Structure 1
Amino acid sequence: MPRHTNVVADTLGYGKLLGRSWMFAPCTWHLGATASREVRALEFDGAAVRELCNEDSAVGRSVSTAVAAVIADRLDSARTRLLDLFAPHGSGTPLAYAR
């Protein structure tokens, strides 16, 4: 956003995935994160998780499905926020619901 150094893209709560860059090449972190209170977080070795996913297809499917669901939810949320900010009133009706 012009003239803004930090923009809140999303707010995460308990049990939510913070990053997904570890899963997809080039495995580079692009965004930052700031905690508004004390956080207890789990950190996984991305390379080790990718290797486990490659070795065990059931684990790979489960992890891929879970991460894809998070990405889809965040894209939908970002779309809604952008429509709220910039779209003319009523233009955000999803095509599936248009009559």
Structure 2
Amino acid sequence: MKTTDGVTAADLAEQRFFSGVPEPHLAALGAVAEAVDFPAGHRFFDEGEPAQRFWLLRSGKVALDLQVPGRGAVVVETLPASAVLGWSWLFPPHRWRFGAVALEPVTAFAFDGPGVRELCAADPGLGRDLALRFGAVMGDRLEATRVRMLDLYAHPEELR
């Protein structure tokens, strides 16, 4: 991983995920973020490991995978640039529920999970806003996982 300069409110304002977030909140979030680069094949995390960060992908693609008994790691979704990677940092027990690997070189903003949780505790407005945004991300991920699991476990006659 290569780290570059700090992250500003203006940097975050350009990201779709943060659309409509007030500038003071963006500035606070930028203070607990850094710009990072990862090579293809970089493993961000494995299912069950402690979750202490999240990333906003600026370029590249990341595969989310799930360990399926008898099948190993199964890709359940591929995240494009502008997607958020990671929501497990927000909710106890702060353990990853999926795994993630870079399919190609990735640039991202990396956020310190405990730092963001502290910001949310200090500013309930920011906490509510982020909870709603991450709730939408979780809903999308769970739906993608459900569809992928149906594909994997459906009997051929059920697909007709």
TM tier, shorter chain?
Answer: 0.7 to 0.9
TM-score (ref. length: structure 1)? 0.77
Q: 1:35 to 1:21 in 2, by over 3 A?
A: same
Rounded to whole Å, the distance in 2 between the matches of 1:46 and 1:75 is 21
Tell me, in whole angstroms, the C-alpha distance in 2 between the residues paired with 1:83 and 1:30. 18
TM-superposed CA distance for 1:89, in Å, is 4.1
Does residue 42 of the first structure (1) align with residue 99 of the second (2)?
no
Q: 1:14 aligns with which of 77, 81, 84?
A: 81
Which structure features the higher share of strand residues?
2
Question: In the TM superposition, what is the alpha-carbon distance from 1:36 to its structure 2 partner?
Answer: 1.4
Superposition RMSD on alpha carbons, in Å? 1.8
Partner of 2:133: 66
1:84 aligns with 2:128: no
Aligned mates of 1:41, 1:9 — CA distance in 2:
21
Partner of 1:54: 121
Question: CA-to-partner distance for each residue in 1:28-87, whole Å, 9 max, x for gaps?
Answer: 234321111110011111111011111111101110001000001111122222233334
Match of 1:33 among 88, 100, 110: 100
Aligned to 1:95: none
Residue 4 (1) aligns with residue 109 (2):
no
Q: RCO (CA 8 Å, sep 6+): is it higher in 1 or 2?
A: 2
Cα distance change of structure 1 residues 85 and 32 upon mapping to structure 2, 3 Å threshold:
closer
Residues 76 and 144, structure 2, Cα contact 8 Å, conserved in 1: no
Q: Structure 1 or 2: larger helix share?
A: 1
2:142 aligned with 1:75:
yes
Q: Provide structure 2 residue ranges, at least 5 long, that are not aligned to the other structure.
A: 1-67
Percent pairwise identity: 43
Structure 1: gaps spanning 5 or more residues: 91-99
TM-score by length of 2: 0.50
Report the Cα distance in structure 2 between the residues aligned to 1:49 and 1:76, rounded to whole angstroms.
26
